[in-house]
């Protein structure tokens, strides 16, 4: 029987979204710009999934915020709903993938997609959250179009960060929801994601499950393979 084509989509696992204490541990800049407490814990399960997808010759993609330095996405007085402290500015250390990720150590492992590259004047015009609007660095194809062209049917989504489980989706949940709406069978690896606010974690997972997105741990995903 022909193998179902799958993709591991690693969403915004960047230095800027990792906690500042992780940068202190590693002695590297760019961490903590918009740090998610506990974000460093997603690295090991993501690497386990990366090894599996490599071994199965399945596709791996990363998305990255790649913001201009001046945009209405940023504010000196952020409300943490649709304006944020400056983070993941294109070409800066904060925009780089977390260095302990296998995909950061070998840039041939994954296809790279970037988003949020346009300067906006109004947060209402912001399209930088969902990886479904991220484009591949060499072809400029949007992620869903690229996955379809590659014959992908199933997606495992991991990374940062989860929103509030209501209207305010952030990069991980908006990507998972949009890929699900685009017709892919999406699984979120629950131990390879984290929420900006811990109290919103389960609400966000439950909201995705209600839309038909599968929730599973990394171990469950690997054991079911």
| Domain presence at residue 137 | yes
Q: What is the pLDDT of residue 165?
A: 87
Quick: pLDDT tens for 54-67. Answer: 999 999 999 999 99
106-124 mean pLDDT: 96
Q: What is the pLDDT of residue 4?
A: 80
Q: What is the pLDDT of residue 45?
A: 98
| Domain presence at residue 48 | yes
| Domain presence at residue 218 | yes
Quick: pLDDT tens for 163-200. Answer: 998 888 999 999 999 999 999 999 999 999 999 999 99
121-142 mean pLDDT: 96
pTM beyond 0.95, yes or no = yes
Q: What is the pLDDT of residue 155?
A: 98
| Domain presence at residue 124 | yes
Quick: pLDDT tens for 64-93. Answer: 999 999 999 999 999 999 999 999 999 999
Structural domains of the chain, count = 1
101-127 mean pLDDT: 96
CA atoms within 13 A on the CB side of 217: 4
Residue 1 predicted with pLDDT over 80: no
| Domain presence at residue 31 | yes
Quick: pLDDT tens for 204-225. Answer: 999 999 999 999 999 999 998 6
pLDDT averaged over every residue in the chain: 96
| Domain presence at residue 88 | yes
**Residues spanned by the domain of 55:** 6-224
Q: What is the pLDDT of residue 131?
A: 98
CATH of the domain at 54: 3.40.50.850
Owner of token pair 């590659």: 150
| Domain presence at residue 1 | no
Distances (CA, A) of 30 to 11, 37, 130, 139: 17, 15, 22, 28
Q: What is the pLDDT of residue 190?
A: 98
Residue 2 predicted with pLDDT over 70: no
* DSSP letters for the chain: -PPPPEEEEEE--BGGGS-HHHHHHHT-SSTTTTPPTTGGGGHHHHHHHHHHHHHTT-EEEEEEE-B-SS-TTB-SS--SSS-B-S--BTTSGGGSBPTTSHHHH-TTSSEEEEE--S--SSGGG---S-GGG-EETTT--BHHHHHHHTT--EEEEEEEEE--SSS---HHHHHHHHHHHTT-EEEEEEEEEEESSGGGHHHHHHHHHHTT-EEE-HHHHHHH-
Q: What is the pLDDT of residue 166?
A: 87
Rounded Cα gap, residues 83 and 123, in angstroms: 7
| Domain presence at residue 168 | yes
């Amino acid at each position: 029987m022909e193998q179902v084509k799958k993709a591991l989509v690693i969403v915004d696992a960047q230095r800027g979204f990792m906690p500042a204490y992780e940068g202190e541990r590693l002695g590297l800049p760019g961490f903590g710009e918009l740090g998610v407490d506990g974000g460093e814990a997603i690295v090991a399960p993501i690497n386990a999934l990366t090894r599996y997808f490599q071994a199965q010759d399945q596709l791996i993609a990363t998305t990255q915020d790649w913001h201009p330095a001046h945009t209405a996405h940023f504010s000196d007085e952020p409300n943490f709903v649709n304006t944020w402290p400056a983070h993941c500015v294109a070409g800066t250390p904060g925009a780089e993938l977390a260095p302990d990720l296998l995909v950061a150590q070998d840039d041939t492992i994954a296809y790279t997609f970037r988003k949020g590259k346009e300067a906006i004047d109004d947060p209402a015009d912001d399209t930088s959250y969902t990886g479904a609007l991220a484009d591949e660095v060499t072809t400029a194809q949007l992620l869903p179009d690229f996955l379809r062209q590659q014959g992908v049917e199933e997606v495992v989504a991991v990374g940062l960060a989860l929103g509030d489980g209501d209207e305010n989706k952030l990069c991980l949940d908006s990507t998972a929801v949009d890929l699900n709406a685009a017709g892919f069978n999406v699984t979120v690896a629950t131990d390879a994601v984290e929420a900006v606010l811990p109290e919103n974690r389960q609400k966000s997972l439950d909201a995705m499950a209600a839309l038909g997105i599968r929730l599973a741990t990394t171990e469950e995903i690997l054991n079911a393979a």
